[in-house]
Homo-oligomer: A and B are copies of this chain.
Amino acid sequence: MGYGGFKELTPLDQAVDSVKALVRRRPSIVEVPVGDALGRYVAEDIIAPFDVPPFNRAVVDGYAVRSRDTFGASPSNPIVFRVKGFIGVGETPAYSVGEGEAVEISTGAPLPPGADAVVMYEKTRRFGDVVEVLEPVPPLGNVSRVGEDVKAGEVLVRRGVRLMPWDVAVLASLGLKKVKVYDVRVAIACVGRELVELDEVVNAESVFKKGFIVNSNRYSMEGLLKLYGFTPEYIGILEDDFEAIRDTLKAALERYDAILTTGGASVGKVDYTVEAVKSLNPELLIHGVLMRPGRANSVAVVGGKPVFMLSGFPVASIMGFEALVKPVLLHMVGAGEEPKPRIKGVLTRRVTTPINTRSYVRVRVYTKEGRTLVEPLALTGSGILSTLIRGNGILIVPENREGFDEGEEVEVVLLRSPASLD
C-alpha cells in the first residue's frame, strides 16, 4: 500500500492541545426544563436562590426554649417552664420565648423568637400549662440552623458539570424550573462513494457482494455523541468530490458548533476532505496523528470551530472519537474527562505496537480460575466487526512503549463487565 506520501504525523497530546487552544469555548446554549436536563452540561454557574433551611428549624418534637434556662436540669432537679402555646409545621411563630418560657413545637417548625434550642418530649414531663425539663440542652441543640444545608448565593452546580439525577433533584428542590445547558450541535458527514444508507438497503449481503458498505459510521458517531451528552446532526453521505465536500462543510460550519466527518481522510493518498478543509482557510490543520488504529485521523479549526476528519474504518473512527473528538468537545463545555472503570489483568498474548504512537488495542477481558485475563483482539486483518462486538475493554499502550509481553499485568479501560469462564 505504502504511505510514501504522508506528511509528518502529530503526537496525540499535541494535536488535542493545539485544537483546544484555538477553539472557541462557547458553543450553543439552550434553556431546558429541569426534567429534561439529565446528562447535559451546565452552561453557567447555578446559584442557590435562598437559604435551606430558610429559618432555624426544630429537628425533633418537643419544647422550644432558651437553652441557658435549662442548665442544671436533671430528673431529680427538674426546671419548670411555662408553656405559652404550640407551633406546627408551616406556621409562623405567634409567640416569643422569654426567660422560663417554652413553646411546644413540631419537627420542621420554625423556632419562635427568643428560643435557641428544643428539648425533646422524652426529656420532659408535662403538667397542664407547665412542663418540667429533665436535662439541659445546649445552644442550637435539636435545631437545624438557617442556611445549614445550603446558603443563599452559594454555587450549587458549576459551569461544565454534567447533570446527574441527584443534581437535577437538588435543582428541583430549590424551585429551579429551567436550566441553561450547552447544546453542542455536531454535524456528521460520511465520505465515500462505496457507502450506502441503511434505510436504502434491501439485502445487505448483496450490498457487500457488490463491494458496497452500509454506512455504519453514522451510527457509531451518533451514538458516541449522544452517550457523552452532545447533539448529533447527521447530514448525509458525501461523494469523494472536492467541491461537494467543500460546499457542504462550508455551509455546515455556519450552522453547527463542530463538524465530524468519517472516511475520505487518509494518509498518503489524495484526500478530498483534508483538501476541502484546507481551502476553507483553517487556523489549524493537523493531517494524521500518531495513534493506532487511526493514523489517518485528522483535525482542523476553522473560524473557531473544530472539524474532525476521522478514518472511514470503524475501529479507527471510534478510537479517533475517544482520542480527539471527546477531549475537545468536553473542553468546549468546560468539562473534564469523566472517570472510567478500569481493571487489571494478565495479557494472554504479546501485544506489539509502534514506538512514539499511542495504540488503542481492543481486548476481551474475562475471569478464569479466579484470575483476570486480557486477550488482545486483532488490530489488523479483517476482524473489523467481530473486534467491536467481542471486545469489552481497551488497552491503551502509551507512546513510550512498544507493547506488552505475554503474562504481563496491564490495566484496561472496561467497556463492559468481564465474562466469567469458570
Contacts and interface: CB of A to CB of B under 8 A. Distances in A.
Interface of A: 1, 34-35, 38-39, 49-50, 52-55, 57, 59-60, 88-91, 108-110, 144, 148-150, 156-157, 161, 164-177, 194, 198-199, 201, 203-205, 207-224, 226-227, 314, 318, 336-343, 381-386, 388-389, 414-418
A213 B173 contact: yes
A144 B382 contact: yes
Contacts of A214: 172-175
A53 B218 contact: no
A209 B169 contact: no
Given A219-B165, A340-B341, A175 B149 contact: no
Contact of A210 (B90, B150, B161, B218): B90
Contacts of A38: 222-223, 226-227
A174 B54 CA distance: 59
A194 to B, nearest CB: 8
A226 B382 CA distance: 36
Given A165-B227, A173-B214, A222 B341 contact: no
B336 A417 contact: yes
Contact of A383 (B148, B204, B219, B220): B148
Contact of A52 (B174, B208, B210): B208
A205 B388 CA distance: 52
Nearest to A343: B339
30 contacts: A35-B219, A39-B227, A49-B204, A50-B205, A54-B209, A55-B209, A57-B382, A88-B211, A149-B382, A149-B386, A157-B389, A165-B223, A166-B318, A166-B389, A168-B223, A169-B216, A170-B216, A172-B219, A173-B213, A173-B214, A173-B385, A174-B214, A175-B203, A175-B214, A177-B201, A336-B417, A338-B416, A338-B417, A339-B416, A339-B418
Nearest to A387: B149
Contact of A205 (B49, B204, B227): B49
Contacts of A166: 220, 223, 314, 318, 388-389
A165 B226 CA distance: 9
Nearest to A314: B169
A160 to B, nearest CB: 11
Contact of A198 (B170, B175, B384): B175
Copies of this chain in the oligomer: 2
Contacts of A381: 59, 144, 148
A372 to B, nearest CB: 12
A218 B170 CA distance: 11
Contacts of A161: 416
B175 A204 contact: yes
A20 B8 CA distance: 58
A205 B165 contact: no
Contact of A170 (B110, B205, B389): B389
A208 B56 CA distance: 12
Contacts of A388: 166-167, 169-170
B148 A318 contact: no
B109 A211 contact: yes
Contact of A165 (B156, B220, B343): B220
A391 to B, nearest CB: 8
A210 B175 CA distance: 14
Nearest to A199: B177
Contacts of A165: 219-224, 226-227, 318
Contact of A150 (B164, B203, B223, B385): B385
A169 to B, nearest CB: 4
A168 B382 contact: no
Contacts of A52: 208, 385
A168 B341 contact: no
B216 A172 contact: yes
A222 B35 contact: yes
A115 B226 CA distance: 46
Nearest to A175: B204
Contacts of A341: 338-342
